[in-house]
Structure 1
């Protein structure tokens, strides 16, 4: 009888133990809820097998040689760097001015 009353008056038992139980139970509960979230994401990501096969074919069809040929055809000598406008500048006017100044240099 004496030990039960002393335990009821003890602040650690009165406040600490419920707090620890809440933290431990909360972590297990959160784990379950987050697992549901990841399970739903897995289900949404699954593709139809025929669609997945078509997507894989598109990825494999790009050849390095083909990309190299495309880059060889691009004329990089006539490329111009036109800076975009600052937030306080009018974009159309500034870009037209930049183009005119580059045309004059050529």
Structure 2
């Protein structure tokens, strides 16, 4: 059976000075990494957002180019006033009232 190395309790390690500094200044252990993640995340999210807007703009410019080629030459101009009068002129005589049979057990 192997023997354990002889390391008495409290022996100094190579990271001992760093551990002592971390105990004195917790900002180095908690605050600095937190701020680094926040700043890096901000730049990362701005890049993702910019990509989203670029993709949307590219899609809209395609439609604008197709419109420039004359897709809507033969369309008539839409006027709300004309549509209102056209709907008012329609007669309501094109429908007929039909009574449906009631379900069993209901009053007539």
Q: Is 1:100 paired with 2:102?
A: no
TM-score by length of 1: 0.53
* Structure with the bigger percentage of helix: 1
Query: How many Å separate the matches in 2 of 1:56 and 1:45?
Result: 19
Alignment-derived partner of residue 54 in structure 1: 71
Aligned length: 80
- RMSD of aligned Cα (Å): 3.3
Summarize the alignment of residues 17-28 of structure 1 with structure 2, pairs less than 5 Å apart: 17-28=32-43
Larger Rg: 2
5+ residue gaps, structure 1 = 81-97, 102-106
Whole-angstrom CA distance in 2 between matches of 1:7 and 1:57: 77
Match of 1:55, SS state, is: coil
Q: Runs of 5+ in structure 2 lacking a partner?
A: 1-16, 101-108
Structure 2 counterpart of 1:70, from 67, 77, 86: 86
Q: Which moved more, 1:25-34 or 1:60-69?
A: 60-69
Query: RCO higher in 1 or 2 (8 Å CA, sep ≥ 6)?
Result: 1
